[in-house]
Amino acid sequence: MSTAQDDLTGRARLRDAAIECFAAQGFEESLRAIAARAGVSAGLVRHHFGSKENLRAECDATVLERYRKLKVDSINAEPSVMFAQLPSSREGGILMVYILRSVRDGGAAGRAFLESLVAEGIEFSADAVARGLVVPSRNEEARVRHLVRQSVGALIVQLGMWPDLALDDFEGVMERFYAESMLPTLELYTEGLFADRTYLDQYLAFVAGAHNPPAGIAEETSSH
């Protein structure tokens, strides 16, 4: 008879195998294939989770929690240490490909992932502003939402452009993405794009109305 610890280990092994299968092959992957990757019988999947829907829900929650931990670790790491760890670890690649699958497939799970990424991003951004790592925004939620959509969308576009890319090469997927995007991303985040404030000031004036001058930098408030 299996012990409680054996049962827990088997459940965790099945969950992690499912995360890998879903990331590599998509959410239509069979329970039999998941069980084979975990090295157990297909019947154990239903024993532990009852249904594929329950298994997917636990995988979603696990991926979000692990992604959050990776974000916390990366924001607390020195830049030199973070760059030395590129390309992404296999685990990081699995998480990102899984999230991309969810968003690209649409539906409730994909929306939940995006909203969770935004909510976590708002927390990280507030902490980064308080620590002096990034400048504040006039609308922090809008900025975070844009950055999340931009980064996730860029990865989805890349996967769409390379349909033959082997998604089970999780490190390779992220290595290619970092190689193409890291420099322009850091340039834009650090140095900006426009040489002056013309477009921003004109937009702020348009939004605020003719009698309200545009604000200064994001942390400043108007004296009018």
3-state secondary structure of 47: helix
The closest of 40, 174, 155 to 102, measured between CA atoms, is 155
**Rounded to whole angstroms, how far apart are CA atoms 114 and 19?**
18
Q: What stretches in the chain show pLDDT beneath 50?
A: 1-5, 86-87, 214, 221-224
The sign one gets for the Cα dihedral 55, 38, 174, 122 is: positive
What pLDDT, on a 0 to 100 scale, did the predictor assign at position 152?
Answer: 87
Contact 152, 117 (CB under 8 A): yes
Q: Token pair 């329950």 is at which residue?
A: 54
Contact 99, 152 (CB under 8 A): yes
What pLDDT, on a 0 to 100 scale, did the predictor assign at position 170?
Answer: 73
